[in-house]
């Protein structure tokens, strides 16, 4: 690395060598074997969000070794730091999965503590499982030091070998067997064959969706998502990312120059074009908030959804494997095809613009990835709904292409948790034509946001996926796209949203084509009903989840933990004032 706009002496990590802190740092770092001549170099964090708990992270330590050498070759002094490392399939076992979403913000705070506490000059983030990529991007926006995100690849799956299952299939089959009582004799064999290497889940669920988001925002080098874990394309992106970080430091280019309102809109387009995970909505909103970008991501999905065609149909949305999607050009080809709809002059971490990156990508093959002129469909795979039941918004995920139905009206059957609703399928309380309302499990109500995927899988197992609708203030897995399932209703019941005042028998009208979800009860009648009261036995453990309940902001703010200056949506009061109005944007 050569000095450019930013001289070495101006890097914030270079404390006065004779100050108390400067001397103490020298003592620490020299004892680690760092040469004296390296102490004046730009100091960067390798953020290794890793643990031994899941295959998602199994290869990250090997990446660190290579990346350190690459960064040193660029004239930088790297330090590995570690953070919390949640895995949805593993960390969701405790307290009904309520640690999953809060762990995203814990990652952000971990990074802030290490990078800001040590006054490091930049960071390069090894992103793997679902919550790590949004956590890294949020931290980049918050700290605003030169940053590159590396999507670290997806696992080799049984499906890719022509076997019966990948991890998503095993999860679905197990959930269905729990409801139907079907034999589980083959599940262990399927599980043993489902994951054949390190990396995130194979498919267009949350992890690969967020990897593509990182590239679409411009925070990852072009052509880096999705990639097979430990493949040559992954190692190539690692090497290019080291070069990119050195260049960002030399030119003093920071995340808030890259994560702009236009970048957020382009990432929304990319998610709509690939039928990405519905969880990307709240994550993109949180990234915008942390980067100080005043934008309503929910409304972007709502408006751009009708203007952005579907260009890919990847599992679990359609038949294509993620390997086929990568081989057809992956996220880079999607951005190339979307270029007429994007902000092509935006800067990316590679030092090139979106348009320049798109010109280097391969064109759509017309089979796995289609051009704008011949899409898989024009109905949005991710639909944001509003209406009298969800004035602040709600979200539905649909398959690609979408066979319907798009309209559902029925009486509400109200449940306080997922397991109670699953039980109602078996005992006859929940029947064809009903709308199951699972409430009180939003970001504050759970707290931490409860998962309802098992209920949706149970409906599917009983053949009721198209006959019973779901409305909840909880969340789904990125795998879910079955039936009419409406999640993340805002304001949630715990914030005295209309969902908290629904009673058994109230008619609920859902129209996916019009983007509406309405409670057919008069406002005057609703006002006379008592507000929702959370149960006293939520088993939060008296620790992190209780802290989360006190600090978390509404979904309109991306469920971040604190208000960020300069972002108009980002206070509890302003978000509630917006969502309580009941007006469509």
Do 172 and 236 fall into the same domain?
A: no
What is the model's pLDDT at position 338? 98
How open is the CA angle 19-23-24, to the nearest 5 degrees?
115
In a domain, 261, yes or no: no
Continuous segment of H or E residues that includes residue 79: strand 77-82
pLDDT for 478: 60
pLDDT recorded at residue 318: 86
pLDDT at 575 over 60: no
Q: What angle do CA 334, 336, 340 make, to 5 degrees?
A: 110
Match 């979800």 to its residue by tokens: 517
Q: Mean per-residue pLDDT for 567-579?
A: 42
Selecting among 50, 237, 477, 490, the annotated active-site residue is 477
Q: Considering its fold, how many domains does the chain have in total? A: 3
pLDDT digits (tens, 9 = 90+) for 315-364: 888 889 999 999 999 999 999 999 999 999 999 999 999 999 999 999 99
**pLDDT score, position 236:** 98
Residue 56, CA distances (Å) to 201, 203, 230, 476 in order? 8, 13, 12, 20
Task: Please tell me the distance from the alpha carbon of residue 296 to that of residue 310, in angstroms, as a whole number.
Answer: 22
> Residue 297 falls within a domain, yes or no?
no
Q: Give domain status of residue 68, yes or no.
A: yes
Are residues 218 and 204 both part of a single domain? Answer: yes
477 given a catalytic annotation: yes
Q: Do residues 139 and 103 both lie within one domain? A: yes
DSSP conformational letter for 353: B
Q: What is the CATH number of the domain that holds 441?
A: 3.50.30.80
Residues 104 and 173 in one domain: no
Residues 124 and 101 sit within 8 Å (Cβ to Cβ): no
298 inside domain: no
DSSP H helical ranges for 404-512: 418-427, 453-461
Residue 577 has pLDDT above 50, yes or no: no
Query: Please, which pLDDT band fits residue 192 given cuts at 50, 70 and 90?
Result: confident
End-to-end CA distance of the chain: 48
Pick the residue with more confidence: 221 or 88?
221
Judgement on whether residues 515 and 483 belong to the same structural domain of the protein? yes
CB of 45 within 8 A of CB of 81? yes
Mean pLDDT for the stretch of residues 210-221? 98
**Longest C-alpha distance within the chain, in Å?**
76
Query: The domain that contains 131 carries what CATH number?
Result: 3.40.50.280
* pLDDT tens by residue, 110-123: 999 999 999 999 99
DSSP letter for each residue of 490-523:
ES-GGGT-GGGG--TT-EEEEETTTTEEEE-S-H
Instruction: Give mean pLDDT, residues 58-62.
Output: 97
CA-nearest of 425, 458, 476 to 175 is 458
pLDDT at res. 136: 98
Half-sphere exposure of 313 (CA within 13 A, CB side): 18
**Residue 574 confidence class, pLDDT cut points 50, 70, 90:** very low
pLDDT at 177: 79
Residue 466: closest CA among 390, 380, 406, 377: 406
Give a yes or no: residue 82 inside a domain: yes
320: left (phi over 0), alpha (psi -120 to 50) or beta: beta
Two structure tokens written together for 378: 């024009």
Between residues 138 and 8, the one the model is more confident about = 138
For the cut 70, the answer to whether the pLDDT of residue 3 exceeds it is: no
Residue closest to 298 by CA, chosen among 287, 285, 283, 307: 285
Could you tell me the pLDDT band of residue 32, with boundaries at 50, 70 and 90? very high
Tell which wins on pLDDT, 171 or 529. 529
- End residue of a domain, out of 237, 254, 271: 254
Q: Which residues contact 363 (CB under 8 A, 6 or more apart)?
A: 329, 333, 336, 337, 371
DSSP H helices, 163-321, are 167-180, 187-194, 206-217, 232-251, 255-258, 261-274, 280-290, 297-304
Identify the pLDDT of residue 345: 98
Domain-ending residue, one of 146, 179, 196: 196
452 CB contacts (<8 Å, ≥6 apart)? 418, 421, 438, 441, 470, 472, 474, 475, 476, 485, 487
Q: Scanning the structure block, which residue is given the tokens 């909505």? A: 281
In a domain, 317, yes or no: no
Give the highest mean pLDDT range of 96-105, 193-202, 351-360, 537-546.
351-360
Q: Is residue 272 part of a domain?
A: no
Q: Are residues 225 and 173 in the same domain?
A: no
pLDDT of residue 582: 37
User: In terms of domains, do 17 and 133 share one?
Assistant: yes
Residues 174 and 151 both lie in one domain: no
On whether both 118 and 175 belong to a single domain, the answer is: no
**Mean pLDDT within 217-243:** 98
Mean pLDDT is lowest, of 205-214, 275-284, 453-462, for: 453-462
pLDDT mean across residues, the chain: 90
**Same domain, yes or no, for 67 and 188?**
no
- Domain's final residue, options 231, 254, 277: 254
**Structural tokens at position 191:** 């599980």
Q: Do the domain assignments include residue 283?
A: no
169 and 52 share one domain: no
- In terms of residue numbers, what domain contains 9? 1-156+197-254
How many CA atoms are closer than 13 Å to the CA of 127, on its beta-carbon side? 40
CA distance 165 to 313: 18
Question: In this structure, are 184 and 63 located in the same domain?
Answer: no
Choice between 400 and 457, residue whose per-residue pLDDT is larger:
457
Mean pLDDT of 502-522: 96
Q: What is the 3-state secondary structure (H, E, C) of 128-145?
A: CCCCHHHHHHHHHHHHCC
């Amino acid at each position: 690395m050569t000095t450019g706009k930013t001289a070495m002496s101006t890097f914030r990590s270079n404390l006065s060598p004779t100050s108390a802190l400067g001397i103490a740092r020298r003592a620490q770092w020299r004892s680690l074997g760092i040469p004296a001549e390296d102490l004046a170099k730009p100091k960067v964090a390798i953020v290794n969000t890793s643990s031994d708990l899941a295959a998602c992270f199994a290869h990250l330590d090997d990446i660190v070794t290579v990346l350190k050498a690459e960064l040193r070759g660029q004239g930088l002094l790297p330090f590995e730091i570690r953070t919390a490392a949640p895995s949805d399939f593993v960390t969701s076992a405790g307290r009904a999965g309520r640690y999953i979403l809060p762990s995203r913000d814990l990652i952000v705070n971990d990074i802030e503590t290490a990078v800001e506490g040590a006054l490091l000059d930049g960071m390069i983030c090894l992103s793997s499982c679902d919550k790590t990529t949004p956590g890294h991007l949020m931290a980049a926006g918050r700290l605003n030091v030169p940053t590159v995100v590396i999507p670290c690849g997806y696992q080799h799956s049984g499906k890719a070998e022509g076997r019966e299952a990948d991890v998503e299939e095993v999860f679905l089959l197990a959930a269905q067997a729990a409801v139907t009582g079907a034999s589980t004799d083959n599940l262990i064999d399927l599980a043993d064959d489902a994951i054949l290497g390190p990396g995130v889940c194979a498919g267009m669920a949350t992890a690969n969706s967020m990897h593509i988001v990182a590239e679409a925002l411009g925070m990852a080098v072009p052509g880096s998502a999705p990639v097979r874990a430990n493949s040559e394309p992954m190692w190539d992106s690692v090497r290019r990312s080291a070069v990119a970080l050195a260049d960002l430091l030399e030119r003093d280019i920071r995340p808030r120059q890259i994560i702009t309102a236009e970048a957020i809109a382009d990432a929304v387009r990319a998610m709509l074009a690939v039928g990405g995970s519905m969880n990307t909505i709240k994550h993109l909103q949180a990234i915008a908030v942390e980067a100080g970008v005043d934008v309503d991501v929910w409304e972007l999905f709502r408006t751009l959804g009708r203007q952005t065609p579907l260009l890919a149909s990847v599992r679990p949305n359609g038949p294509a494997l993620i390997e086929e999607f990568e081989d057809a050009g992956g996220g880079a080809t999607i951005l190339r095809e979307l270029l007429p709809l994007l902000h092509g002059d935006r800067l990316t971490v590679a030092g090139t613009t979106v348009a320049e990156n798109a010109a280097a990508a391969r064109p759509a093959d017309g089979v796995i990835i289609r051009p704008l002129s011949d899409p898989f469909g024009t109905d949005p795979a991710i639909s944001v709904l509003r209406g009298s039941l969800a004035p602040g918004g709600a979200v539905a995920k649909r398959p690609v292409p979408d066979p319907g139905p798009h309209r559902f009206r029925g009486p509400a059957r109200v449940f306080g948790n997922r397991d109670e609703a699953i039980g109602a399928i078996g005992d006859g309380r929940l029947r064809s034509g009903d709308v199951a309302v699972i409430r009180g499990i939003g970001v504050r109500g759970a707290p931490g946001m409860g998962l309802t995927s098992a209920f949706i899988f149970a409906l599917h197992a009983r053949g009721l996926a198209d006959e019973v609708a779901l409305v909840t203030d909880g969340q789904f897995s990125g795998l879910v796209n079955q039936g009419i399932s409406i999640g993340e209703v805002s304001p949630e019941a715990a914030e005295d949203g209309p969902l908290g005042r629904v009673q058994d028998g109230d008619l609920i009208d859902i129209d996916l084509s019009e983007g509406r979800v309405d409670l057919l009860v008069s406002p005057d009648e609703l006002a006379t009903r008592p507000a929702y009261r959370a149960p006293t036995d939520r088993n939060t453990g008296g620790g992190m989840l209780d802290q989360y309940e006190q600090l978390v902001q509404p979904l309109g703010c991306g469920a971040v933990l604190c208000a960020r200056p300069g972002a108009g949506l980002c206070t509890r009061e302003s978000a509630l004032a917006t969502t309580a109005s009941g007006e469509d944007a």
